[in-house]
Copies of this chain bind each other. A is one copy, B any other.
């Protein structure tokens, strides 16, 4: 059943049916609208979005782009050795943060009349290609941990509005939604300081040098430094660590801490993610250290599981629902008003105080 057939049946032109379907109520008399709608309902007419997209030059599709955090060539090497591991790396929704954000985004976009196209990618070209393939109305980039060069290429060459999550380039006109990571890092360190800690390690994701690569982690680190400064605690280089942001990375971190002589051991760990923190707590406990009696740990993310580990993890919590809403709203504003200037929405975070941060051990 096509628009034309509905038109013939209702005794109007195709244009009128189109106006009814698209709720351009101002362009159709109420009487005609009702008559046409009745025919639409009678036949269960559903518009063909491809035809619509082709003539309207837009698609009502929002591309949700998820970078695969590795180069395609490296992944192929891994696939040679461990196919299952390679497959799980290609799965861009295996972590709570990405998948919850995608879920929230879809639930916001649907009532706005948009369709969500999900796509993993390695390189910026893939993003630009998809945008043009489908003439997408907008594009949301999640976890753009890819290189700045790729991100900048996407931002400068995209033909549609783009919202970046968790990444901001002040020199580019762009739309971005992020969390106040600086404040988060500050709150985390402050909570440890409040309990009397002075040897507080900051555990970054990846190598310690990586702090300076990721804006997010850098901001958290800066917040951490600010809290130390405020308490007149000098920052020490050995207290900046780095491990892969995963449960096993956290375990490695925990084992590293256990390997340290007691005098050199930090009394509190500010972790860049809950995954890291949970893994570390597990390894620390296995190694005989009690949390928080012997060592305090604070996470970042507030995963659902974080409240359920033993002891429940003290962490920094962000409102993912609000983040997704902000991203969807920002994108829609830009779509509806292409002249809109760039802007960054920064959402606040809060401390979820639970049980992994406690007083400094008496013997320190």
Cβ B117 vs Cβ A116 within 8 A: yes
Could you mark each residue 114-157 of chain A with 1 if its beta carbon is under 8 Å from any beta carbon of chain B, else 0?
01111110000000011011110000000000000000000000
Could you mark each residue 297-321 of chain A with 1 if its beta carbon is under 8 Å from any beta carbon of chain B, else 0?
0000000110111100000000001
Cβ B107 vs Cβ A87 within 8 A: yes
Task: Check: A265 CB closer than 8 A to any chain B CB.
Answer: no
Range, interface on chain A:
35 or more
Task: Check: A259 CB closer than 8 A to any chain B CB.
Answer: no
- Asked, given contacts A134-B49, A135-B48, A309-B308, whether A120 binds B110 with beta carbons under 8 Å apart, the answer is yes
Max count, chain B CB within 10 A of own CB: residue among A50, A90, A116, A278: A50
The 6 closest A-B pairs by CB, nearest first: A93-B103, A99-B99, A50-B53, A91-B103, A90-B107, A46-B132
A293 CB to nearest B CB, Å: 15
Task: Check: A59 CB closer than 8 A to any chain B CB.
Answer: yes
Q: CB-CB < 8 A to A64: which residues of B? A: 118
Q: CB-CB < 8 A to A54: which residues of B? A: 48, 50-51, 54
A137 CB to nearest B CB, Å: 12
Task: Check: A326 CB closer than 8 A to any chain B CB.
Answer: no
- Choose among B49, B87, B135, B305 the residue that contacts A278 (Cβ–Cβ < 8 A): B305
Q: CB-CB < 8 A to A130: which residues of B? A: 115
Task: Check: A193 CB closer than 8 A to any chain B CB.
Answer: no
A303 CB to nearest B CB, Å: 8
A130 CB to nearest B CB, Å: 8
Cβ A133 vs Cβ B102 within 8 A: no
Cβ B135 vs Cβ A50 within 8 A: yes
Cβ B47 vs Cβ A133 within 8 A: yes
Cβ B94 vs Cβ A100 within 8 A: yes
Could you mark each residue 77-98 of chain A with 1 if its beta carbon is under 8 Å from any beta carbon of chain B, else 0?
0000000100110111110100
Task: Check: A247 CB closer than 8 A to any chain B CB.
Answer: yes
Cβ B91 vs Cβ A247 within 8 A: no
Which residues of chain A (243-263) have a CB below 8 Å from chain B?
247
Which residues of chain A (38-60) have a CB below 8 Å from chain B?
46-51, 53-54, 59
Task: Check: A104 CB closer than 8 A to any chain B CB.
Answer: yes
Task: Check: A165 CB closer than 8 A to any chain B CB.
Answer: no
Cβ A88 vs Cβ B321 within 8 A: yes
User: Roughly how many angstroms separate A285 CA and B310 CA in the complex, as a whole number?
Assistant: 10
Q: CB-CB < 8 A to A132: which residues of B? A: 46, 48
Q: CB-CB < 8 A to A282: which residues of B? A: 308, 310
